[in-house]
Amino acid sequence: MTHMLEIRWHGRGGHGLVSASNLLAEMAVKKGLYAQSIPIFGAERRGAPTRVFTRISDKPIRTRSSVKNPDIVIITDRHLLNIINPLEGLKKGGYVIINVDELTEAERSRLQDFKVIPVNAVEIALKADLKVGGIPLVNIPLLGVLVKLLDFIDIDVAEEVLKERWSGEILEKNIKALKYAVEVVEIA
């Protein structure tokens, strides 16, 4: 790793962004790297737009501020493209991982300066039966895409971290969603 990797997650309260960012940071630490996960939210209610930041580096991370110029942006809800600007500051040629079944022409046009990885995280969550109150959890499928994209984190470490967090049926569903995302998502 030659520079600090900065990731900005955009979603809504209840999408599990804080958990996904924390898990990614734990995976990086298990690989001998430095990492931090910083959630930004106030008194928002479930469903309100939220942001979470993840930094990973081979050197100690001194900054504690929000991520202004991320290498990767993860968007759990495509409608956020029209509500906020999740692409703000994203480095040209940076990655956008977006939870969609298919991009619209308008989205393609707006995302043309970036490397876009569309992923139907809802479908992946449903196939793994990863739901809370009947609502599919998209955080672990999106985390699976990151595991595939980031060459310094492997599936074994990802599974190990999930096993430290959960057990039983919940663990099985999370591992299934993670592995399925790694398997089906194409990264150009």
> Residue 108's domain is classified under what CATH number?
3.40.920.10
> What is 97-119 written as a DSSP string?
EEE-SS--HHHHHHTTTSEEEEE
Alpha helices by DSSP H, the chain = 17-30, 80-83, 105-110, 121-127, 139-149, 155-165, 168-184
What is the domain extent for residue 35? 5-184
> Torsion angle, CA of 36/40/41/47, rounded to 10 degrees?
-80
| 86 touches 10 (CB < 8 A) | yes
Q: pTM of the predicted model, to two decimals?
A: 0.95
Q: How far is 124 from 26, CA to CA, in rounded Å?
A: 23
Compute CA 54 distance to the chain's CA centroid, rounded to the nearest angstrom.
Answer: 9
pLDDT tens track, the chain, 188 positions: 778 999 999 999 888 999 999 999 999 999 999 999 999 876 656 778 899 999 999 999 999 999 999 999 999 999 999 999 999 999 999 999 999 999 999 999 999 999 999 999 999 999 999 999 999 999 999 999 999 999 999 999 999 999 999 999 999 999 999 999 999 999 97
Domain count for the chain: 1
Task: Check if the beta carbon of residue 165 is closer than 8 Å to that of residue 172.
Answer: no
Tell me how far apart the alpha carbons of residues 149 and 74 are, in angstroms, rounded to a whole number: 12
